[in-house]
Chains A and B, each alone.
Chain A
Amino acid sequence: MGCGFAKSDKLKKRDRETMRAALLIQRWYRQYVARLEMRRRCTWNIFQSIEYAGEQDQIKLYNFFGYLMDHFTPNNICRNVDWERYFCYKSIEVPKLYSGPHLSFPITCSNAAELVEAFKNKQQLHSRYVLQLLGETWRLLRILPNISQISTCHSKEITICGDLHGHLEDLLLVFYKNGLPSSEKPYVFNGDFVDRGKDSLEILLILFSFLLVYPNDVHLNRGNHEDHIVNLRYGFTKEVLGKYRLHGKKILKLLQKIFSWLPLATVIDNKVLVLHGGISDTTDLHLISRVDRHKRQNRSGMTDSDLEDDDPTTKPVDSSRRRVHSLTHSSSTGTRHEVQRRSLQGLNNRVTCSVEEELKERRRQAGLSQSYGDLRNSLANSDSDPDSGELLESYGDEWKQIVDMLWSDPMPQDGCVPNEVRGGGCYWGPDVTEEVLQRHNLTLLIRSHECKQEGYEFCHNRRVLTIFSASNYYEVGSNRGAYIRMGPDLVPHFIQYQANRATRALTLRQSVGRTERSALRALREKLFAHKSDLISSFQEYDPENTGLISLGHWACAMEAVLRLGLPWRVLRTQLVGDTLDGMLDYHLWFRELAITEPNTEVRFTNTQILLETMYKHHSNLETIFRIIDTDNSGLISFEEFRQTWKLLSSHLQTEISDEAISDLAVSIDFNKDGSIDINEFMEAFRLVGGDLLQNEADLLQQQT
């Protein structure tokens, strides 16, 4: 008996020990996972805040870019008949050496499937076929309604995809898992097909070809990135001009028209509303179905030159306002440029006036959201035809509805407020969802527009569903993509995926680490761009000029200058190294951030500030350069560089002396031939870290 008891006691003791050990390990591991989750969330916040700050930035300059675009567009083409001639593909010959896919029209489903195959094999479609395909698409879109009505009768399951953003591998993955579009397999693609990813055009060509083959079963909704001005900034314009050097501009112009003609929403079985961004408290589908959606109102108040199609007698917009100014100043570059370059001089004066007016208006209406203020301004200050004044006023409301549909985001609180973060659309609450859905007798709103970790997310009591189909959006491993399958019961089923085999093999720890490094790199770029402001801000907390500030003050200064709404205290451990008793040597800190200064030879004083300002706005600068570079040579003259900078800086209210700009221009002339190469200029601002990451990413890609 004694032995038996002793043994079972020992066993019991062992059991207790085992349990305690297991408990300890679980406790320890869960702590670790929580810390990882915290890091992941911070990283996400960084990316998102930088992304939205960029969008907001973009929208602020929307008017300005609009002016520039108008100034540099051909003005002698007004009617659709003229556009058709301009876009004609017939004169373009396909050389015998061309090994890519050939398309015949009317396009067949095997053509479309061939196209998918060809793009999978990294082939490029010849510009003749591109223009032909786009031309057909344009013609089809013009007869489609603003809101498509589809039904799941005949037990058809509908597939709904969200943002793709040029990620061709995700689209291919969806087709692989789900099948190609067909009458048995209808699809809705919910906008943002382009920008950011590198295969935006291929995605469009695939989607359009299936649209042409199955116009009743493939539905495209417009996203906020289906907009030629947004494209200038976020990469699509660059992609097209890079892939199609000769006909790129024509392709872009045709795409501009196509985008303006994309339908705005889809309704399934009269119950489920699918659109890209969201809604607002004023959303009225009956109104929206009646608008002229292609009459995109550019911010200057002028309507697009695309007038009523079936009215050949409509007189063209007064072309005097768009007259090209010839090169009126002599430039040291002589007759280097063959194509007539528009002078920026006249534009500068004209735009500066309007910019001044606009700035005044903005200051006056400081209470209102900027984007709404802009809209009202552009209506009030419109200098278009006097008799179209009426049209514009009522169109203002309709335009607001469209902007809301493409730009809005949901929020958890009730109400509806302007979306200041993005600069367009609004934030709408669950009460608005209920009201709008009930008013239209709908049960569910499916939208996209926001990246989600799992590829999808419900909100507003499961009445709003966000679907996002671009995996690895911020960085390899950052998120999954997903798509929805929905049958007659209208219950959404989700399929998630992540392109890039390498990411699936990464542990949580590795993928968090990776994404985090990338986010921190992006953040460091921001820090560099604001270095002077940051140093001044630090110095305010350091009146005795010791060179040290407390970490608490560091966090306050960071937020005050950068205004990204990031948790600086939590990020501190990643951004700041050693401290002396909780005090940070901020000059040393900047040096240790290991950022390479732009590698331009800087000989003059005050250039540091100039460089930083330029760096801060380099995306905008690039956008402007590409607008001005009408012959797509990749080069601009000194004079144009100077004028561009003056325009931008007046709009941004920064003060840079003419002399400083001229000096900088000379020092950036890398080829020493009197002109500036846009790509080289942009290269000068790339930070060393960025290169390393690109190599890493490339290596990873090669391994898959």
Chain B
Amino acid sequence: MAEDKESAEAIVSEVHKKIRAAFDVFDHEFNKTVDVREIGTIIRSLGCFPNEGELHDVIAERLTVNRAYVHEHREDNNGTYLTKQIEEEEPTGYIRFEKFLPTMTKVLMERKFRPIPEDLMLQAFEVLDKQKKGHLELEELTKYMTQEGEPFTQEEMEEMLSAAMDPDKNLIFYKDFVSMMTVDDPR
């Protein structure tokens, strides 16, 4: 019994250290806070595969965000200073490590947002490849990625194309693409 408890504690301790390490990479000023916009990257780099909606839920519901303001400075005609506070619309602010650690620990221990196996990925592409050609056209993939599901931004689309597309033929040979991406996975 005692042994089990010890090993459970050891596991949690290891998990904590992993989370801390990933957090630290984005803690630029070494003050135990990261910009909320990097939380998605941190969570994903720890091996989780949330979609955008799930990510948003984690941030909005479980992590308190410190609001930040943008100051707009203007001089009026008398040369006096005006300062206006505008609340930013997209989530801004910083997440403290104390808040992040318990949330992330739970995510990892509960094995939420499991990874996607390679064969499932292949199937997904095959679904999109309606004519069963073995490849996708540039326009086809772009249409699906930017109009369906949780659409890509233009930047994301361009980046995926640069990695996935054969530039001479403008075709995406998805089988190769999936294999290549899976190989890249460092443990």
Task: Select one of A24, A29, A31, A35 contacting B120, CB under 8 A.
Answer: A24
The answer to whether the Cβ of B52 comes within 8 Å of any Cβ in the partner chain is yes
* Contact indicator per residue, chain A 337-381, by CB within 8 Å of chain B (1) or not (0): 000000000000000000000000000000000000000000000
Task: Select one of A21, A33, A413, A567 contacting B127, CB under 8 A.
Answer: A21
Is A26's CB under 8 angstroms from B127's CB?
no
Q: Number of residues in B with C-beta < 8 Å to the partner?
A: 54
Task: Select one of A26, A443, A509 contacting B149, CB under 8 A.
Answer: A26
Interface of B is mostly: helix
Name the A residues within 8 Å of B25 (CB-CB): 38, 41-42, 45, 567, 570
Given known contacts A22-B128, A45-B25, A462 and B162 CB-to-CB distance under 8 angstroms: no
Name the A residues within 8 Å of B116 (CB-CB): 24, 27-28
Is A27's CB under 8 angstroms from B125's CB?
no
Interface of A is mostly: helix
Nearest-neighbor residue (CB-CB) of A17 within chain B: B127
Is B51's CB under 8 angstroms from A27's CB?
yes
Is B17's CB under 8 angstroms from A26's CB?
no
Is B31's CB under 8 angstroms from A413's CB?
yes
The answer to whether the Cβ of A51 comes within 8 Å of any Cβ in the partner chain is no
Given known contacts A30-B52, A507-B162, A22 and B148 CB-to-CB distance under 8 angstroms: yes
The answer to whether the Cβ of B76 comes within 8 Å of any Cβ in the partner chain is no
Is A569's CB under 8 angstroms from B127's CB?
no
Is A509's CB under 8 angstroms from B184's CB?
yes
Is B159's CB under 8 angstroms from A508's CB?
yes
Report how far A165 CA is from B48 CA in the complex, Å.
40
Q: How many Å from the CB of A609 to the closest CB on chain B?
A: 31
Q: How many Å from the CB of A33 to the closest CB on chain B?
A: 7
Task: Select one of B31, B40, B159 contacting A507, CB under 8 A.
Answer: B159
Name the B residues within 8 Å of A411 (CB-CB): 29
Interface centre among A31, A41, A443, A507, by most B CB within 10 Å?
A: A31
The answer to whether the Cβ of B166 comes within 8 Å of any Cβ in the partner chain is no
Nearest-neighbor residue (CB-CB) of A427 within chain B: B29
Q: Number of residues in A with C-beta < 8 Å to the partner?
A: 43
Q: How many Å from the CB of B176 to the closest CB on chain A?
A: 14
Nearest-neighbor residue (CB-CB) of A570 within chain B: B21
Report how far A22 CA is from B151 CA in the complex, Å.
9
Name the B residues within 8 Å of A18 (CB-CB): 127-128, 144, 148
Name the B residues within 8 Å of A573 (CB-CB): 186-187
Name the A residues within 8 Å of B43 (CB-CB): 34
Give me the interface of A with B, judged by CB distance under 8 Å: 17-35, 37-38, 41-42, 45, 411-413, 443, 461-463, 507-509, 552, 555, 565, 567-570, 573-574
| Supplied contacts A23-B150, A28-B116, 16 more A-B pairs, CB within 8 Å | A18-B144, A19-B149, A20-B124, A21-B127, A28-B49, A30-B44, A30-B51, A35-B44, A45-B25, A413-B31, A463-B71, A565-B30, A569-B20, A570-B22, A570-B25, A574-B186
